[in-house]
């Protein structure tokens, strides 16, 4: 199932995860529109893809505005004659705790991640529906959007919103044979190098060293190349039956995230009064409350696999 003949747009693909996605798509035959806000970075990414035998063109523009979305789709059609795949990866961070987060901190992250995903998908979906040959929408989420993370109100809101939009688009675009899925990556990038827990692993990857099994298996933490294969797979015809899913990947781990759903329910005639809740809450729901945040286990003396995990070597 090669991607020969397909055309892909990858936002934020000048470096890091986005570049890995663009290179992997090109390696499997797709022609790629690279996007970054830095001309030199975009040029270098295009040069790397073409040097490896692929085809690519760069669009230098910030993701968020509708004008950028239109320019990306126009570049795909002008240079390669069509569009088949969109990967929305562009993002920024403005981390700080709630009481110190400014309006600009919040708006900047929401504009790039959430609005940028919306405008790019809207433009691509409009073209794909008119083209009439189906297509693939792949949006990049984050564990922060799934579980929350200290100091990332803006990022959590954006990434949770992206997955919510993906589920909606999966419904809206299905009749046009356009799938929409989210990828939840965990990898050594410029964004994760600021997380103290991951710093040693990110530094090891930067030195070209193999990450330990604890990182790759227990944490599901690896390199951008570990994530790129999943993106290429979801972009292919082999993934035609996968729609509306949030697929987690990192290191040696591959997972499907659950959709939010009720974990337990209770009923009382006439509805729930303050008095009834005060009396009955603990017995009914005390053991069902969900944890928040991303648990970070202490590295064991000898890291192994988790119980019940499916291992494929």
User: For the segment 263-274, what is each residue's pLDDT rounded down to a tens digit?
Assistant: 999 999 999 999
pLDDT in tens, 11-43: 999 999 999 999 999 999 999 999 999 999 999
**pTM of the prediction?**
0.92
Phi, psi (rounded to 5 degrees) for 94: -140, 70
| Closest-CA residue to 263 (of 291, 290, 282, 292) | 290
What percentage of residues in the chain have a pLDDT greater than 70? 94
The full DSSP string for 224-264 is HHHHHHHHHHHTSGGGTT--S-EEEEETTEEEEPPPP--S-
Residue with the two structure tokens 């020969």: 4
**pLDDT at residue 92 in the model:** 95
CA atoms within 13 A on the CB side of 17: 28
CATH of residue 121's domain is: 3.40.50.720
Task: Note down the domain range covering 198.
Answer: 7-257
Residue 292 lies in a domain: no
Collapse the DSSP code of 214 into the 3-class scheme (helix H, G, I; strand E, B; otherwise coil) and give the result.
helix
Q: Are 224 and 17 in contact (CB under 8 A)?
A: yes
Q: Which residues of the chain have pLDDT under 70?
A: 1, 191, 193-194, 300-313
Residue 141 lies in a domain: yes
Per the annotation, the verdict on 21 as an active-site residue is no
Residue with the two structure tokens 């936002």: 11
Residue 97 lies in a domain: yes
Give how many domains the chain has, as a whole number.
1
Residue 303 lies in a domain: no
The one catalytic residue among 21, 127, 155, 274:
155
Q: Does an H or E element contain 182, and which?
A: strand 178-185
Residue 223 lies in a domain: yes
Q: Does an H or E element contain 204, and which?
A: helix 199-206
Collapse the DSSP code of 135 into the 3-class scheme (helix H, G, I; strand E, B; otherwise coil) and give the result.
strand
**pLDDT at residue 188 in the model:** 79
Residue 263 lies in a domain: no
């Amino acid at each position: 199932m090669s991607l020969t003949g397909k055309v892909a747009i990858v936002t934020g693909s000048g470096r890091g995860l986005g570049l890995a996605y663009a290179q992997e798509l090109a390696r499997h035959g797709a022609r790629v529109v690279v996007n970054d806000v830095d001309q030199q970075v975009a040029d270098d990414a295009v040069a790397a893809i073409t040097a490896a035998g692929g085809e690519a063109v760069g669009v230098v523009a910030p993701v968020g505005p509708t004008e950028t979305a239109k320019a990306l789709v126009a570049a795909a059609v002008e240079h390669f004659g069509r569009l088949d795949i969109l990967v929305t990866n562009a993002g920024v961070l403005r981390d700080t705790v709630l009481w110190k987060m400014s309006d600009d901190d919040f708006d900047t992250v929401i504009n790039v991640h959430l609005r940028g995903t919306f405008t790019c998908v809207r433009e691509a979906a409009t073209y794909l529906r008119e083209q009439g040959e189906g297509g693939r929408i792949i949006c990049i989420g984050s564990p922060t959007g799934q579980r929350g993370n200290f100091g990332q109100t803006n990022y959590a809101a954006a990434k949770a919103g992206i997955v919510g939009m993906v589920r909606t688009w999966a419904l809206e675009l299905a009749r046009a044979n356009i799938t929409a899925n989210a990828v939840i990556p965990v990898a050594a990038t410029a964004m994760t190098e600021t997380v103290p827990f991951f710093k040693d692993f990110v530094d090891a990857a930067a030195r070209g060293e193999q990450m330990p099994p604890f990182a790759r298996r227990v944490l599901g933490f690896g390199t951008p190349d570990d994530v790129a294969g999943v993106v290429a797979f979801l972009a292919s015809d082999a993934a035609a039956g996968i729609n509306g899913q949030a697929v987690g990947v990192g290191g040696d781990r591959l997972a499907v995230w659950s959709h939010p759903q009720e974990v337990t329910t209770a009923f009382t005639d006439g509805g729930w009064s303050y008095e009834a809740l005060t009396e009955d809450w603990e017995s009914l729901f005390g053991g069902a409350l969900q944890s928040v945040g991303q648990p970070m286990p202490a590295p064991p003396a000898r890291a192994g696999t988790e119980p019940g995990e499916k291992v494929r070597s």
